Amino acid sequence: MSVQDEGLEAGEPAFTVSLNGSGGPLKGWVVVDTLVDSLAMGGTRMTPDVTEEEVRALARGMTHKLTLVGLPIGGAKAGIVSDGTAREETLRTFGRTVAPLLHGGLHLGCDLGVTPADRAVFFAEAGYDPRRKNRAVDMPYDWRTYYEPLVDCTGHGVGVAALAALEQLHGATGSRRVVIQGFGTVGRAVARFLEARGHRIVGVADIEGTISAERLPADDLIALTDSFGRIDRSRLPQEVTVSQEPEAWLDVDADVLVLAANHNAVNSANVHRLRAGLVVEGGNITVSPEAKLKMAVAGTTLVPDVVANVGGAAAAGLALARIVPFELPGDARKDWVFDWVATRVRNNTRDLLEIAAERPQSDPLPTLVSARRKEHR
């Protein structure tokens, strides 16, 4: 690739809305980073410590993700400050409060702390149905029928990114050892995907600690995991090692580390413990900017969030922009969406690592984003 680096967008988002709640208390923000043809989209994060700054960074990441895959939709994100107490009431208040935004062209989906069932609660409260859109033919079925079978799309794309990076780095890959931090929707799908392609899961972390072994069969572990990504320690086989140290996943000897959990999981205080030569961001902003710099100096390859984890957003965007062939039956439609995502993630990963190899001292992402922007113009 030979393109000029124009840099990523600087400056302010299109707009930020502070949420105080309609018909009940609420604390949060909606950040619309960019609008394309009056549309924007992004997930909704609900954690006790989410900040406006975090939501802004996530919304900017959405703009980059959608640009990288060429979808004509702007980037946005919502954040709700909550520890999940009075969950249903909070989500209903959120739905009432953001209703005008949802009806005005902003699509909000799930993110950390918000499940598909939670999304259904705030959609219903807002009276929002993504099938309805001005100026376009209606979707032939409801959002859950379209979107829920695609729940593993992000993990699929993250797995594709890991494979593409391994091929780029090592040629014919052979079997690699993989550690996955976070065993929720994304982490579980990545585990299945990489194991099915001959790689070995040697470590998995959830909020309670790290489990490691010579080989952790993905389906066996998934059978012990609840829908929030917590693994039941009491039913683990004896040969596995269990650690409660919060960052023990950094000490597992592996070739690939997939980060599929929290913000800044790898940071300046722990980056020196990294053992894997390849890190793939399945979650958003899981490596801090300072840690990224240190990883580049140490020669660790990073596939960043906006390249690797676009799958779920792309699946939603393909429907909102009415690009997906709705007439395909369920399984074929799923294959079509997964293939669409895989093609873009593979190409973006390869091109990003090529740019990185040409200019090892600088961040390759701005160059890739400006190249894609020119192609999609």
Ligand X SMILES: NC(=O)c1ccc[n+]([C@@H]2O[C@H](COP(=O)([O-])OP(=O)(O)OC[C@H]3O[C@@H](n4cnc5c(N)ncnc54)[C@H](O)[C@@H]3O)[C@@H](O)[C@H]2O)c1
Residue 30 or 96: which CB sits closer to ligand X?
A: 30
Binding of ligand X at residue 287 (CB under 6 A)?
no
Residue 230 or 350: which CB sits closer to ligand X?
A: 230
Among 118-126, 127-135, 141-149, 179-187, the segment contacting ligand X (CB under 6 A): 179-187
User: Angle of helix 311-320 relative to helix 153-170, nearest 10 degrees?
Assistant: 120
Dihedral sign for Cα atoms in the order 326, 331, 334, 335: negative
Query: The tokens of 230 are what?
Result: 């917590």
Residue 207 or 296: which CB sits closer to ligand X?
A: 207
Q: Long-range contacts of range 139-148, CB-CB < 8 Å, 24 or more positions apart?
A: 139/319, 139/322, 139/326, 140/326, 140/327, 141/326, 143/319, 144/116, 144/120, 146/319, 146/324, 146/326, 146/333, 147/116, 147/315, 147/316, 147/319, 148/116
Binding of ligand X at residue 309 (CB under 6 A)?
yes
Alpha carbon distance 78, 111 (integer Å): 9
177-181 and 256-259 beta bridge pairing: parallel
Binding of ligand X at residue 206 (CB under 6 A)?
yes
Among 82-90, 181-189, 352-360, 368-376, the segment contacting ligand X (CB under 6 A): 181-189
Residue nearest to ligand X (CB): 184
Sequence-distant (6+) residues with CB within 8 A of 64 are 8, 75, 306, 365, 369
Residue 155 or 367: which CB sits closer to ligand X?
A: 155
96 phi/psi in degrees, rounded to 5: -65, -40
Binding of ligand X at residue 243 (CB under 6 A)?
no
Binding of ligand X at residue 268 (CB under 6 A)?
no
- Residue from 13, 66, 98, 111 touching ligand X (CB under 6 A): that is 111
Binding of ligand X at residue 242 (CB under 6 A)?
no
Binding of ligand X at residue 363 (CB under 6 A)?
no
Task: List the Cα angle 92/111/116 in 5-degree steps.
Answer: 60
In angstroms, what is the minimal distance from the CB of 261 to ligand X?
Answer: 3
In angstroms, what is the minimal distance from the CB of 348 to ligand X?
Answer: 15
Q: Is 77 a catalytic residue?
A: yes
- Residue from 229, 304, 317, 364 touching ligand X (CB under 6 A): that is 229
Sites for ligand X among residues 27-66 (CB under 6 A):
none
- Residue from 47, 67, 154, 212 touching ligand X (CB under 6 A): that is 154
Q: Are the C-beta atoms of 29 and 18 separated by less than 8 Å?
A: yes
Binding of ligand X at residue 112 (CB under 6 A)?
yes
Task: Give kind and range of the element (H or E) at residue 206.
Answer: strand 200-206
Residue 173 or 270: which CB sits closer to ligand X?
A: 270
- Residue from 75, 277, 312, 317 touching ligand X (CB under 6 A): that is 312
Q: Are the C-beta atoms of 275 and 295 separated by less than 8 Å?
A: no
Binding of ligand X at residue 182 (CB under 6 A)?
yes
278-281 and 301-303 beta bridge pairing: parallel
Binding of ligand X at residue 105 (CB under 6 A)?
no
Alpha carbon distance 275, 222 (integer Å): 25
Q: Are the C-beta atoms of 180 and 158 separated by less than 8 Å?
A: no
Residues with catalytic annotation? 77
Contacts with ligand X by CB under 6 A lie at 111-112, 154, 181-187, 205-207, 229-230, 260-262, 282-284, 309, 312
